[in-house]
Amino acid sequence: MAVDLRDPLRSVLGSILDEVRDRTDGEVASYIPELAKADPRALGIALASTHGVVHEAGDSAVEFTIQSVSKPFVFALALDALGLEEVTRHVGLEPSGEPFNAISLDEASGRPLNPMINAGAIVTSSLIPGDTADEKFARIRAGLQAFAGRELDVDEAVFASEAATGDRNRALAYLTRSAGTLASTAEIATTAYFRQCSLTVTARDLAIMAATLATGGVNPVTGERVVGEDAARWTTAVMTSCGMYDASGDWLVRVGLPAKSGVGGGIVALQPGQFGIGTFSPPLDARGNSVRGVAMLEALSSQSGLHLLRHRGDPLSPIASLAHEGDDLVAVLRGEIAFAGAEELLTRLAPLVGEQGCLVLDFTAVTRVARGAAGVLRALPELAGTDTDGRPRIVLRDPEGVLEG
């Protein structure tokens, strides 16, 4: 029987579950009677890689309502449909330093401060194309399904509860309507928003949804492009600065993963280019964040060194070897070459470009070249020109085309 090499990952997730399992602080959300029925002991986590593999532990297949975790994904859909300039005419990008249900309209513009607080999320939902609440919601649902890679249901009991108790959200809708920033009637916006919040997901779904942002907009499981790369990056940026309400700054310092929580007990987090995570545990802290979800992400970030702003240690030089092949000098390059690597290449190789002979840059073992760096490197042959014999001073060897696009 083959050893399962993936055990290490399962064991990481499992040990994190074990670490938080016995915490009993926090309260299941009760402002809606339906939410209060959630099992406080439910506990799950899932991690989806940008290659489309999903690792899970615990109650990662239990369904719960997505609630505010929907906000960044619907924001991404709005950005994708309308662009950053049009969207920011309606909602800002600044952290509010205030709780989720804060009013927080910018005085001058009437815009909600950001799309992660309720007022901004309602405006975001109103921006989704569609003339009726049904049309808007159909588009939102289709978008969230594409993020998750499967069909999502509405929990009609929760929806009915949200609609029955949602006066504060209606107030926020009317307020933005009167400020000129809501893009539909208040009734249409809140109905679409309440339905959006009532969609049910699992921790596994959230992991895939987050991973879709982490890939720059392509669902790594289905391969479908859900939103453009710009929309994914802008959304990730807003999650970074505003995703955890009035604790966003602290979260960025201590955990360092763009994230968003919901009162249903779910949290998503991600690292661009790496992975998406979904967690599920209903009891919430005073700020409305899942107590054990927060604890799992803190543990994961700290134990596995996933902080977005962590310095990863000095990489080896991108120049693996330098050797003469006949008259040519061949530099074998390796690894990922971003801005810093390109800069090192140029600095170290500059003295080697001579009167005669050719410098060959071999990119065969290079796995990725950052966009800005690629442009600079592609321009080198023309820049170096030819030697006295008319031969090119620099030649690029790039069999896998890592310098393209």
Q: Which residues are catalytic?
A: 68, 71, 193, 245, 263
Q: For strand 359-369 and strand 328-337, is the pairing parallel, antiparallel, or unpaired?
A: parallel
Nearest to 171 by CA among 195, 194, 187, 159: 187
Determine which residue in the list 89, 150, 170, 225 makes contact with a copy of itself, applying CB under 8 A: 170
Q: Say if residue 94 carries a ligand binding annotation.
A: no
Q: If binding is defined by CB under 8 A, does position 355 make contact with a copy of itself?
A: yes
> Distances in Å between the alpha carbon of 208 and those of 7, 204, 244, 354?
20, 6, 20, 51
Q: If binding is defined by CB under 8 A, does position 360 make contact with a copy of itself?
A: no
DSSP string, 139-182: HHHHHHHHHHTS---B-HHHHHHHHHH-HHHHHHHHHHHHTT--
Site for a copy of itself in 96-115 (CB under 8 A): 96-97, 103, 113-114
Q: If binding is defined by CB under 8 A, does position 269 make contact with a copy of itself?
A: no
**What are phi and psi for residue 342, nearest 5 degrees?**
-60, -40
* Part in contact with a copy of itself (CB under 8 A); list of ranges 3-11, 61-69, 191-199, 323-331: 3-11
* Part in contact with a copy of itself (CB under 8 A); list of ranges 124-132, 141-149, 200-208, 234-242: 234-242
Structure tokens at 90: 């309606």
Q: Considering beta carbons, is residue 142 or 353 the nearer one to a copy of itself?
A: 353
- Residue pair 49/275 in contact by the 8 Å Cβ criterion: yes
d(CA 47, CA 8): 13
Q: Considering beta carbons, is residue 152 or 227 the nearer one to a copy of itself?
A: 227
**What are phi and psi for residue 155, nearest 5 degrees?**
-85, 100
Site for a copy of itself in 273-312 (CB under 8 A): 273-275, 303-312
Dihedral of CA 127/238/42/142: which sign? positive
Determine which residue in the list 164, 253, 322, 323 makes contact with a copy of itself, applying CB under 8 A: 253
Q: Say if residue 118 carries a ligand binding annotation.
A: yes
Q: How many residues bind a copy of itself (CB under 8 A)?
A: 118
Question: Could you give the string, one character per residue 7-46, with x where binding to a copy of itself holds by CB under 8 A and - elsewhere?
Answer: xxx--x----------------------------------
**Residues of the binding site for substrate:** 68, 118, 162, 169, 193, 245, 263
